Amino acid sequence: MTQLRFDPACYDSQLADKAARLQALLAPFAAPAAEVFDSPREHYRLRAEFRLWREDGQRHYAMFEPGDKHKAILIDDFPIASRRINELMPQLKAAWQASEVLSFKLFQVEFLTTLAGDALITLAYHRPLDGAWQAAAEQLAAQLGVSLVGRSKGKRIVIGRDFVEEELVVAGRSFRYRQPEGAFTQPNGAVCQKMLGWAYEALGQRDDDLLELYCGNGNFTLPLATRVRRVLATEISKTSVNAALANIADNGIDNIELVRLSAEELTQALNEVRPFRRLADIDLKSYQFGSVFVDPPRAGMDPDTCELTRRFERILYISCNPETLAANIAQLADTHRIERCALFDQFPYTHHMEAGVLLVRR
């Protein structure tokens, strides 16, 4: 498969190709035409990571072609990244060029921003960080108006906060999210907001309960909780669980119970294969689950978890890998049909696709 290039003039044809690919993948299941949600053509990516490359006595932002870690592509700006990242890049570069304390053995820079305008920068070093570095970093954070994290082997220094704050609007209601440094967040905020709106509409207003697997920081959990009686959500990452708990509290939503279990472990609990201490205070039998929401990793759902979802009247599935989505649907096709499907272009100018399907019992 050829590598796509950044070219806004070709965006519409690239998106049409993706829609055709998704339709072909879902055609064996008699899927309806996909709803297509496009991306901004530029400045859509809210996070970016750069290695630093030393040339002519100076460190420069650099990226590499896939599979080639030796030929650096030096970068001064990055048009797919948010405007905030592009504003910060030259200011940060000027700061490390002017300060040996900041630049010495600095090898990687990460930016995390939000649609709401918040920003956090992570600086990674091949050396211990000392008091002189912290003093310089505190001055830099104040100068740039950002939070800043310094990382070296076995050490992490936080100046300001170790998260950014996002605000997304779904069906006219604003939801606030803490997005921690180092944890997964949706990279394309504008498309993420469209994904949330589609999932909210596809689920509909329900008078029963929702099970959510792989809930992350509660990205989908918060708006979907307003559509059902109660939500039981699971996530295995401790950082994401802590962020989700903070987000639930910050938004004043009181019908969500969150448990730190993997999807596989929850499947075992619901099948009464084994008990889990983390579920000791949760009465699983009190739930009246009508729907399950899943947003699994690229590998999709494992066979046992996929089989578990068969029990539900509605399966709302967000996928970052339509090939494994199709494999999961094949396992469910004898009991569920696709009622709605959608393409979300989170990653323009690449072959990656995000898809959503609503499966309902036949």
**Where is the binding site for S-adenosyl-L-methionine, in residues?**
186, 214, 219, 235, 295
Query: What is the chain's Cα-based Rg?
Result: 22
Distance between CA atoms of 136 and 285, rounded to whole angstroms?
56
Catalytic residue among 192, 215, 320, 341: 320
354 classed as catalytic: yes
Distance between CA atoms of 256 and 268, rounded to whole angstroms?
21
How far does the chain reach from its first CA to its final CA, in angstroms?
37
167 classed as catalytic: no
- Residue 164 corresponds to which tokens in the numbers above? 């950014």
- The distance of Cα 250 from the centroid of its chain, to the nearest Å, equals 19
DSSP 276-293: -GGGTT--GGG--EEEEE
CA angle 4/117/239 to nearest 5° reads 80
CA nearest neighbour of 185 among 281, 120, 92: 120
Residue 52: burial class (beta carbons within 10 Å; 0-12, 13-18, 19+): buried
SS3 of 230-252: the string is CEEEECCCHHHHHHHHHHHHHCC
> Which residues carry a binding-site annotation?
186, 214, 219, 235, 295
Q: Assess contact for 123 and 136: CB atoms under 8 A.
A: no
Q: Assess contact for 306 and 332: CB atoms under 8 A.
A: yes
Classify residue 218 as left (phi > 0), alpha (psi -120 to 50) or beta.
left
The catalytic residue positions are: 320, 354
